[in-house]
Structure 1
Amino acid sequence: MQNNKLKHIALRDWIKDRISDSTFKYGDKLLSENELAAQFGISRQTVRQAIGALEAEGVLTRVRGSGTYVAALPVAEKQKTMNIGVITTYLDDYIFPPILNGIDSVLLENGYTMNLSITNNKIENEAKVLRNLIEKGVDGLIVEGTKSAFPNPNTYIYKEIRRKNLPCIFINSFYSGLNFPYIALNDVKAAEICTDYLVKNGHRKIGGIFKSDDIQGHLRYSGYCNELKKHGIDIDERNVMWFVTEDLNELFAGDYDKSIDRRLGCCSAVVCYNDQIAVRLIDTLKRLGKNVPDDISIISFDNSNFASFSNAALTSVNHPKKQLGIDAAQHMISMLQNDNYDWKLLYEPILIERNSVKTISHP
C-alpha cells in the first residue's frame, strides 16, 4: 500500500484493481473486515470507510448476515444479443433526437435493437445504466460521456469493458486516459472559426460562456483562446464565464443578471457554449435593455432549432446530429465484425451565418 495515499483510498483502489484484473469477479465474496485489516495493517474503521465508499459507487454490495460481495460488471460469456446499449446525457428536443434517430436507423437495417438509457449528466446514473445494460446483455455500447471534463469514478467499469473486448464508442465527448474510439465535432477548430469570424467582423472585446463539466467546454475555450492569441488580442478572464450542469437554470433565472452584465456587458460579442446558452443569454440581455446584434453580437454551436427560431437568428456552428448517429452505428457494426478499436472521427466544423453578429469598426 502506498504511503503517500490515504489508507482507505489505497484500499479502495486495490479492491477496484482486483476487480479489473478479475481476481475478484462479480458475485465473489470479499474478504472480511478483520482479514483486510490484518492483511494491510490498518484499522477496521479504515476498512469500513473504503468499503462504504465502494458501496456508494455500486462496486460492492453488503448482504446482512452474509458479508460483502462484488457488484460490478456481471459480463457473461459472449453470446449474440443483437442489442446495442446507447447511453446519452439527455433526451429532449435539442440535438439528441436526430442523433438517436441516426443510430436506430442503421441498427435496424443490420438487425440490431437500440437499448437506450439516459444519465441526466450524473455520474451515479452512468454507473447504474452501465451495469444494467451489461447485466441484460448487449453486443456493444455507444456512450455520450457524463461530466467528461472531470475525473470519472466509473473508469474502472470502462477498463473492465475494454478488457473484455466489449465494443464501445464515445460520441460528442471522451474521457481522458481511456483509449476508446470516439466521434465528435472538432470543438477546438469550431471555436477558432467562431472567434475568427467575430474578429473579422470588427470585434476585439470578445467574451465567452463555457461549460466546465464537459470536455467540449474546455476544447471550445481552448479554440477561443487560440484564435484571440492569433489575432494579438489579450485574453481577459473577467469576460469569461463558466457553468456546470446543475447551475444552468440558476445562472439565467434573473438573480445573476447584474453579474452577467458586469462580466459580459462591456463586450461587443460573446462566444456561447451552445445554442441553448445563447438563447438564454439573449433573454438576459433583453432584461438588461440590450439587443442582439445591435448592442452585442452572439455566436454559438450546434445549429439547433434554437438557432433558427430565436428572436435573433443565431450564427452557429453546425453539429452533424443525425449523421453522427449514423456514423456511430456504422462504426459499431464494423467493430462487431473486425474488432478494430483504434480510431477516431472528428467532423470539420461548418459555420451557418444568420443575423446575430453585427459588423462593427474598431480603433
Structure 2
Amino acid sequence: MKIDESNPTPKYLQLKEIIKQYFESEQYKPGQKIPSENELITQFNVSRNTVRQALSELVNEGFIYKKHGSGSFFSGKTQDETTQSFLIGVITSFISYYIYPPIIQGIDDVAHKKHYNIVLGSSRGDQEKELICLEQLLQKDIDGLLIEPAGGFQDIRESKVLALLKDITIPVMFINWVIDDPDVSFVSINDREGGFTATEYLIAAGHQRIACIYPNDHVPGIQRHLGYRKALEQFHIPYDPQLDKGGTIFRWNEAEYIGRLVKELLMLGDKKPTAMFFFNDSAALQGGYQAIREFGLKIPQDISVVGFDDSELAAVADVPLTSVSHPKYQIGRWAAEILFEDITSRGPKPPTKQMVINPILVERDSVRFLNMPDEND
C-alpha cells in the first residue's frame, strides 16, 4: 500500500484510507499504538502536514485516539462503523457551580430535541486538565464540541488545545470568550460593553472614585476592564491606577485573595473608592462584601458595589447586588443551535460564526446614589 501520485484525491485522504486498511490487514487490537508521525512520514514519503491531516480525520471518525505525550492508538472501530455517535462534548470551567448549570441546561435542551446526548468535562480553569478532557471526549467519537477555554490571555493563543481544535474537523464552538481569530466560532456576551455599562451606571449615581477589581490575565476580565476605562474616559473622569486592582484568574475563586485586593483599596484612606466594580458576582459577594464589612463599612451607605453575571447569588444576598446580566441559558442554547447547524450541514466545512450579545444592567440595592438624598442618613 502506497500513495498514488497520479491520483487526484488529496494525499492525506489516501493516507487515511491506507491506515484504516492497515488496521484490518495487521489485525490491530483496541488500544494498540499506531506508528508515529515520523514513521508514517518515512514510510509513505509525505509531509508532516499530510500525516497530521490524516490522523486528525481518523481521530474525528473514531478510528484512533490520542494520548498527550504518548502517541496515537487504535480504538477498535472497523470500517463499517462510521455512523454518527449522537454525542456532543461540552467542556466548561465548572459544571455544577455559579453560571454553568443554566449554560449547560441550554445546551442540553437543544441537544435533546436533536436526539443527542451531551458528554461533560470540567477543566476547573486548568489547561492541562482541559487537554485531558478534550482527548477523552475525542475518544468517544463526539460529533461536535462546545468549549469555554481555560487559562489566560496569552495561554489560549499558545495552548495545545487551540492547536488541536483547529486541527480536528468536527464542528467546534467556543462559549463565553470573544477570540480575535477568523477561524474560530464563538458565542459570547460583549464583555467590554458590560464593563462600560457597569461603570457608566456608577458615574450616573454620582461616583467618581470607582475601583475595578478584575483578572488581568484573562480575556473576559481584560475586556470588562477596557469597558471600565472607556467609561471613565468618555465621562472625563481621571483614571487613577491606585483604583485599578488586577489579579490572576487562577486564584479568582479564593475569597481571601479577592478580600486582600479590596482591603488594599480601602487602606487608601481619603483616596479610597466610593464604588467598586467587580469582574463577577462571586468575587463581589464572597470576597468584596466580607472585606468591606471587616473594615466596619456598610454597603451601599459607605461603598457601592456592582458585579457581573446576574447570578442567583446576586438576588439572594443580604444586600441584593446590582449586576450586569449574563444570558446564561440563552448563550448555551444559541451556541448549541449553531453547532448543530454545522453538524447537519453537508459539503465543505461551514464558515465560522461569531455572535456577541450586548448585556443589560439589573438594578438592586448595592449602589448608593450620591446625587440623591439617602433615606438611611
Q: How does the TM-score come out when normalised to structure 1? A: 0.77
**More displaced 10-residue stretch of structure 1: 75-84 or 211-220:** 75-84
Q: Which residue of 1 aligns with 2:193?
A: 189
Question: In angstroms, what is the RMSD of aligned CA positions?
Answer: 3.2
8 Å Cα contact 2:277-2:307 kept in structure 1: yes
- One of 143, 149, 156 as aligned partner of 1:152: 156
Q: 1:195 to 1:133 in 2, by over 3 A?
A: same
8 Å Cα contact 2:131-2:160 kept in structure 1: no
Q: 1:289 to 1:72 in 2, by over 3 A?
A: farther
Amino acid at match of 2:273: C
Shift of 1:104: 0.5
Residue correspondence of structure 1 range 139-218 to structure 2 within 5 A: 139-152=143-156, 155-177=159-181, 179-218=183-222
Amino acid at match of 1:105: D
Q: Which residue of 1 aligns with 2:264?
A: 259
Shift of 1:312: 1.4
User: For each residue in 1:30-76, what CA deviation from the matched residue of structure 2 results, as whole angstroms up to 9, or x when unmatched?
Assistant: 659xx9xxxxxxxxxxxxxxxxxxxxx96432xxxxxxx45899999
Q: Which residue of 2 aligns with 1:268?
A: 274
Amino acid at match of 1:312: V
8 Å Cα contact 1:73-1:157 kept in structure 2: no
Amino acid at match of 2:292: L
Alignment: residue pair count: 311
Q: Which residue of 2 aligns with 1:358?
A: 368
8 Å Cα contact 2:255-2:283 kept in structure 1: no
Shift of 1:292: 0.8
User: Is the counterpart of residue 326 in structure 1 residue 333 in structure 2?
Assistant: yes
Q: Which residue of 2 aligns with 1:310?
A: 317
Q: Which residue of 1 aligns with 2:7?
A: none
8 Å Cα contact 2:280-2:307 kept in structure 1: yes
2 CA distance for matches of 1:181 and 1:75? 30
- One of 58, 62, 69 as aligned partner of 1:60: 69
8 Å Cα contact 1:204-1:233 kept in structure 2: yes
Shift of 1:311: 1.7
Shift of 1:287: 0.6
Q: Which residue of 1 aligns with 2:4?
A: none
User: For each residue in 1:177-215, what CA deviation from the matched residue of structure 2 results, as whole angstroms up to 9, or x when unmatched?
Assistant: 472111111111111111111111111111010023321
Q: 1:178 to 1:120 in 2, by over 3 A?
A: farther
Shift of 1:345: 1.1
SS at match of 1:326: helix
Residue correspondence of structure 1 range 201-240 to structure 2 within 5 A: 201-240=205-244
User: Is the counterpart of residue 109 in structure 1 residue 113 in structure 2?
Assistant: yes
Shift of 1:255: 6.2
Shift of 1:245: 3.4
Shift of 1:29: 2.8
Q: Which residue of 1 aligns with 2:53?
A: none
Q: Which residue of 2 aligns with 1:298?
A: 305
Percentage of matched positions with identical amino acids: 25
Q: 1:72 to 1:202 in 2, by over 3 A?
A: farther
Higher CA-based Rg = 2
Q: 1:145 to 1:81 in 2, by over 3 A?
A: same
2 CA distance for matches of 1:302 and 1:267? 22
Shift of 1:348: 1.6
- One of 126, 132, 154 as aligned partner of 1:128: 132
8 Å Cα contact 1:228-1:235 kept in structure 2: yes
SS at match of 1:332: helix
8 Å Cα contact 1:148-1:174 kept in structure 2: no
Question: What 5-or-longer segments of structure 1 have no aligned partner?
Answer: 1-21, 36-56, 62-68
Amino acid at match of 1:261: L
8 Å Cα contact 2:88-2:117 kept in structure 1: yes
SS at match of 1:307: helix
SS at match of 1:152: helix
User: Is the counterpart of residue 341 in structure 1 residue 347 in structure 2?
Assistant: no
Q: 1:257 to 1:162 in 2, by over 3 A?
A: closer
2 CA distance for matches of 1:277 and 1:106? 31
Question: What 5-or-longer segments of structure 2 have no aligned partner?
Answer: 1-14, 20-32, 43-65, 373-377
1 CA distance for matches of 2:182 and 2:78? 23
8 Å Cα contact 1:149-1:175 kept in structure 2: no
SS at match of 1:137: coil
8 Å Cα contact 2:216-2:246 kept in structure 1: yes
8 Å Cα contact 1:74-1:134 kept in structure 2: no
User: For each residue in 1:91-143, what CA deviation from the matched residue of structure 2 results, as whole angstroms up to 9, or x when unmatched?
Assistant: 23311111111111110111111000000000100110111111121000000
8 Å Cα contact 1:183-1:324 kept in structure 2: yes
Shift of 1:152: 3.3
SS at match of 2:155: coil
Q: Which residue of 2 aligns with 1:278?
A: 284
**More displaced 10-residue stretch of structure 1: 344-353 or 174-183:** 174-183
8 Å Cα contact 2:213-2:261 kept in structure 1: no
2 CA distance for matches of 1:312 and 1:291? 10
Shift of 1:174: 4.5
